[in-house]
Amino acid sequence: MKRLFLASAVSEVASDIAKKIDCKGLKLAFIMTASEVEKGDLWWLRADREALVKMGFNLFDHTLTNKTKSDVKKDLEKADVLFFSGGNTFYLLQKIQESDSAEVIKKFVEGGKIYIGSSAGSLIAGPDIYPVRFADDIKMASKLKNYKGFGFVDFMVLPHWGHEDFKKAYLDGLIKSIYNNEHKTILLTNYQYIEVNGDTYKVEEVKHS
C-alpha cells in the first residue's frame, strides 16, 4: 500500500509526521537532486536534513544525476524511506528522465517504501508539474521530454501558500495557471502536510507559534 507524506517544508512538520511512523533505525535516502541548481544559502535543505535525523532516521545522501536505471535501483533498494528534497522541480524531473528511473521509484513506493516529499519533492509526486513554471526556472531543464510527475496521487501539490517569499510567483501567474487546470490542486502552507495511505489522503495542520 502506498504511504506518502507530502509537505511544503518537512522541517516544519517533521515532529507530527514522526507520530505516524516508527522512524528509529529506518534507512532514509535523502535525494537532494532538485537542490543541485539552487544558489545561495540552502538553509532549508539543511533544516529538512536535521529534522529527519532528529526523527530517528538512518540517513544517507543520494542523487539521480549521472546515474543509470540500474544504479538507482541498486542504491535505493536498501532504503526504507525515499525523501525528495525541495529545489527546482523541472531539473528534478529532467534527472528522473535522464536516469530512466521513474518506474523503478514507482515500484519501490507501490511496494511499500515510504515516500516523503518537501516542496519540489511533493510536486513531483503528482501527475503534472507544468503550472509551477511561474515559481521554478524552467530554463534549468532544457532537455525535458514532458512534464509528467510520478502520478502517485491524482492531485497537484502547490507548496508554500501564504509565504511572503512566494507571493509574487502566485500572484504573477501561478494561480491563473491552475484555475482551469484539469487536475485537482491542493495549496499547502509550510505548516501543513498531506498524509496518503493507499488511495485515501488527508491534509494535516501542525500548530506553530
Beta bridge partners of 186: 157
183 as an active site residue: the answer is no
CA 7 – CA 118 distance, rounded (Å): 5
DSSP state letter for 124: T
Buried b (16+ CB within 10 A) or exposed e, 1-34: ebbbbbbbbbbbbbebbbeebebeebebbbbbbb
Cell numbers found for residue 160: 508554500
Catalytic residue among 11, 119, 122, 177: 119
User: Quick check: 64 and 87 in contact, CB under 8 A?
Assistant: no
Amino acid at residue number 69: K
User: Quick check: 42 and 80 in contact, CB under 8 A?
Assistant: no
Catalytic residue among 8, 11, 99, 160: 160
160 as an active site residue: the answer is yes
Residues noted as catalytic: 119, 160
